[in-house]
Structure 1
């Protein structure tokens, strides 16, 4: 009876490197097949290693999910924090908003797998992840509201603009720009988004 071919030996990696490889593989599985397809066996198949290799990096699937969630939240918050303008940037509010939206969509273009979890969450996304995404959205809406109020003073109008609704509109515009890019990156490029925001800001009246 012929013996089954042995799986090639998996190259040895530092634990942290293996963990990152597995988290990237988890993103691929979720994006392609959904959350229910993510198992320890699926991870092993995805990177062509044995299950003990996977278990040497994570004790179980819950640990994989926790690490993936923490990593992606940290990355998302870092991107948004860097994209949002400071008060110093608001010396020219129009240019600051253009830069902020452009930086954000460029970051989405650089990490489409990760941003799909936030902007286009697949069916079966754990409620804990949805909860944190919503919490972060509320936090950024508050920050953007403060920046809009300051920016309107700097640019001089438009008079009577509802600051809170303007902040929510800016947040929604950025998120929708990211979603459009994920769905059709050639049609909805960062350059196209940048030109759109520049045109909109140029059309807003000043006092």
Structure 2
């Protein structure tokens, strides 16, 4: 009688889901969304494919769950990336503090950060919709900060607020890419110093 395939040990569904998400994270950050199929995740997690489907019904829901988990990890590390208005010392200081918190979160969870800035063009529609909502949420926070700072002495003055919000988001994304690509060349203090100097230039001259 041929040897039967060894049975995989039973595990709690939540534990299996974490195992599946960990495997999917490794695949996305190393090979991209296109390579992160259910079959590839099953191999990476060393699980039978039916067990992966038992944890998540399809590739789209799996990847959205992964994005939600990694975003939550970043948010927990950020703590308060954008301080409430009552705690803000000024426009420049608030942006510098947010940048510092962001870069500390990147250093603590580099794979989470890589996932969140990975282009989603080849991802399932659920992932593209999720990343679009996340980007709009970030823009809304920046718009709120710019509106709060509009009449402050160190505020952005007459700069177009919508273009400024989009530009600040693009700068933040690029800071994350630099921190991930070459942390020795672009340490956090260098990047934060740049933010402080650049935003100070936006403040009206006294």
TM-score band, normalised by the shorter chain? 0.7 to 0.9
Structure 2 counterpart of 1:101: 99
Question: TM-score, structure 2 length as denominator?
Answer: 0.78
Structure 1 counterpart of 2:83: 85
Structure 2 counterpart of 1:19: 17
Which segments of 5 or more consecutive residues in structure 1 lack a partner in the other structure?
none
Deviations along 1:153-194, one digit per CA (max 9) or x if unpaired, are: 333445433333322222221111112222223322222211
* Matches of 1:130 and 1:40, distance apart in 2: 18
Matching of residues 127-206 of structure 1 within 5 Å: 127-157=125-155, 159-203=157-201, 204-206=203-205
1:152 positional shift: 4.2
Question: Any idea what SS the aligned residue of 1:36 has?
Answer: coil
* Cα separation, partners in 2 of 1:72 and 1:92, compared to 1, 3 Å: same
Cα contact 1:34–1:123 (8 A) shared by 2:
no
Which segments of 5 or more consecutive residues in structure 2 lack a partner in the other structure?
none
Q: CA RMSD in A?
A: 3.2
Question: Any idea what SS the aligned residue of 1:155 has?
Answer: coil
Question: Any idea what SS the aligned residue of 1:88 has?
Answer: helix
Cα contact 1:85–1:97 (8 A) shared by 2:
no
* Cα separation, partners in 2 of 1:120 and 1:89, compared to 1, 3 Å: same
Question: Any idea what SS the aligned residue of 1:91 has?
Answer: coil
Question: TM-score, structure 1 length as denominator?
Answer: 0.77
Deviations along 1:38-58, one digit per CA (max 9) or x if unpaired, are: 233322321334445434433
Number of aligned residues:
205
* Cα separation, partners in 2 of 1:81 and 1:131, compared to 1, 3 Å: farther
Matching of residues 2-81 of structure 1 within 5 Å: 10=8, 12-72=10-70, 74-75=72-73
* Matches of 1:63 and 1:94, distance apart in 2: 39
* Cα separation, partners in 2 of 1:38 and 1:88, compared to 1, 3 Å: same
* Matches of 1:113 and 1:64, distance apart in 2: 17
Cα contact 1:157–1:206 (8 A) shared by 2:
no
1:19 positional shift: 0.6
1:73 positional shift: 5.1
